[in-house]
Chains A and B, each alone.
Chain A
Amino acid sequence: MATTAVTSAGIASEAPRSDFGRILAQRERRFAAALLAPAFLALLATTTFPLLFLVYTSAFRMDLAMPFTNGFVGFENYQVLLSDDRFWTSLLVSLVYTGSTVALQVIIGLALALLVMDMKRGQGWFRVIAILPVVLSPAVVGMIWRTFMLAPEFGIVDFLAINAGLGSKNWLGDPTLAMVSVIAIHTWQWTPFAFMVLLASLASLPEDIYEAARLDRASAWQRFRRITLPLLRPAIVMVIIMRTMVALTAFAAIFTVTAGGPGTATEILNLYAYRKSFTELSIGYGSALAVALLIVTIIISGILFAMRRAK
């Protein structure tokens, strides 16, 4: 094997195969192992071990309310799951919730980033205000919306609806409106994220391409379609991937606002797994639901990463 002593890496490079070099490389390996050990042991204990244990418990009937029926059931939980209407409904709710919130975040965020990019003054306001929603706890955000914004005949949104002639609505009590509300809340909190990321990448685009396009008399739409959008594509795809992962496992905001209700109208798969395990105390089946959620997450991220690689 050829020695590739990268000079800038100096001692840290793959050392020449002399005894001295070998000793150095070995020392480096040991040093790296010592530095990595605590973090990796902690990650094994808090992520890999729970995953294995989760798969294991999903093969059991484990009812905390009725412990006498507990026992190994093999794949039974998964068979039940496949014919469980509530599972399929929650999966659909998850997909609608994720699809619409991500689409709204990207579209509004991009439009706003383009708009703010052209502003000569006042960009600073956007940069500061946009930070506020994204640093807040989704639980607190949910609580504020549930009460001061959406409560019938009290919340500001209801007040605006009444004044707009729409009349007071039961924003969180009506199944359709509740779904619209939780989607709106998530969009409210996370659009600033898409906005900030896209604004940052817009700001880093080379200026001279636009000059050339202007000299060629390209219209604003052409410039957007032919230059901005292709250059921005990696950032847009990245935002889509990140936001999709978060939306699929959204919990706190929905939990505080509707707790999945009314009925199961806003119960995304994540919330169903939680309710099954910790409200209905059916841990074995809840584990199977969580495994299903993991599989859905892997499939969707696989599709998105393929999209990212495709040109």
Chain B
Amino acid sequence: MTRTMRGATAVAIGAAVSLLAAACAGQGTGGQGGGDGETTGSGGDATVTWWHNSNTGEGKEYYDQVAADFEADNPGVTVQVEAMQHEDMLTKLQAAFQSGDDAQIPDVYMSRGGGELKAEVEAGLVRDLTDDAADTIEKISAFTGQYSVDDKVYALPYSMGLVGFWYNKDLFEQAGITEVSPNPTIEEFYGYLDTLKSAGITPASVGAGDKWPAAHYWYYNVVRQCSFDTVETAIAEKDYSDPCFVKAGEDLQALLEKEPFNAGFLATPAQSGPTSASGLLATGKVAMELAGHWEPGVAGGLTEDGQVPDFLGWFAYPTFPGQAGDPADQMGGGDAWSVSAGAPDAAVDFAEYLLSDEVQTGFAELDMGLPTNPAATGSVANEVLAQLIPVRDGGGNTQLYLDTRLGQSVGQAMNDAIALVFAGQAGPQDVVGAIESAAEAE
């Protein structure tokens, strides 16, 4: 019996080894050559494929119109618009990049910047826009830093939002908090938590089940405790030994000791359904949530009448006494237009057109995001959203969400470690350790 077993194992191992050898012999050739794609470059007729994620309602109509306008101004150029649902778009983009085939990769597509963009640039998939789009870059230079690799700009940010606290004005008032500072100190913030709790109101919700909403607390502590340059240097040198990173974790633990979060927050999803973190805020079950500029839209989708709740207010993440970070620095993220390496020159023109005063103004008027072009920032229709613009443009740096900044592999390892801190199963040093070991393995 054992002998036949051993025989079977030997056969299996032998088969596995030979398969492995055979497999290694194949493939490895699917690189991305310099195929000239589907067009002939400037001058002649060109087709620009454009992927975006405004796939419903006014946003979709607006972008269709934008493409039609561009075609009218540029005879011979056809813009092929493909609007898709956000997650679908990410999956399709990844598949297109994996194919390495210029015909599959869109010419103009959404980039989130940071480590993801860096990896794409290193694989030779993205076009350097520094010179080709110099005029546009000049206008939005406050935001291009996060979309540059080695001082070359590879994407044009068209929307840049902030993360901050969205709060329920009614519940705050009910608890007796009449004065809400737009940029509270941590002591003031703790005061809100205590007051809300003593009024029997759950102070905050957090979707730690999805990890990134929980991780935002740590990121923001980093933005507060570390100077912008410290973070940039740490990422560049993969050296996170500066004590400010551990300090960020300690601040997080101090917050967790206050137990401000909804019951079951470890399993709470970020945005899906009425029992998600956003759902609890939208239905008045908790008083606040740390979230990005998307929150009014998400909350609107989770209320019974489908309207954005009018009790929503916003204040910035608290500042800490003696923090090394500039108090005006904020954390957020946005979306940018990248042009793929195999795209025709008309694609660059189109990407620039998308950042033009006129297109950005229309974008702002429809509340599709927070425009980066200064000519359009005054046009944001929604008052609560418009409130974020002066904070964002208040002279500080906007640090990208750190998971995006560090790239998927390090970013997710970091988020996992932060989620463990929320569960009380890891400490400040563990988060730093997770980042370092993932960065080393990269």
Do A and B interact with each other, yes or no? Answer: no
Residues on A lying within 8 angstroms of B by beta carbon are none
